[in-house]
Amino acid sequence: MTDGEGFPVEPSNCGYDEEEARSLGILLYSSYAYAGMPEEVRADVEHSWEQEGARVAAKVEERFPGIYAFTSYGVEN
């Protein structure tokens, strides 16, 4: 995977106050405009993020079957 400028994405180890210990986080998208989007636009954006998350999950499972679990969710920044 590459970032918006074409450079390889580097994962970061996350802990979130030990709620997700030993988890690996990859930020796919970030948008300050998200909170101000009209509801129908936000729904379309969320749907596209869900599709991208499903695509990444399928690739992880294909590459490492039964070893890793991938969860995707949006966060408001």
Give the contacts of 32 (CB within 8 A, at least 6 positions apart). Answer: 77
**Block residue for tokens 């986080």:** 25
Comparison of pLDDT for 52 and 32, the residue scoring more:
52
| pLDDT average, residue stretch 58-69 | 86
What's phi and psi for 59, nearest 5 deg? -65, -40
pLDDT of residue 58: 92
Residues in the chain: 77
In this prediction, residue 7 carries a pLDDT of: 85
pLDDT at 12: 59
Residue owning tokens 């690996």: 24
Mean pLDDT taken over the chain: 77
pLDDT of residue 28 exceeding 90, the answer is: no
d(CA 33, CA 23): 27
Mean pLDDT of the region 24-32: 66
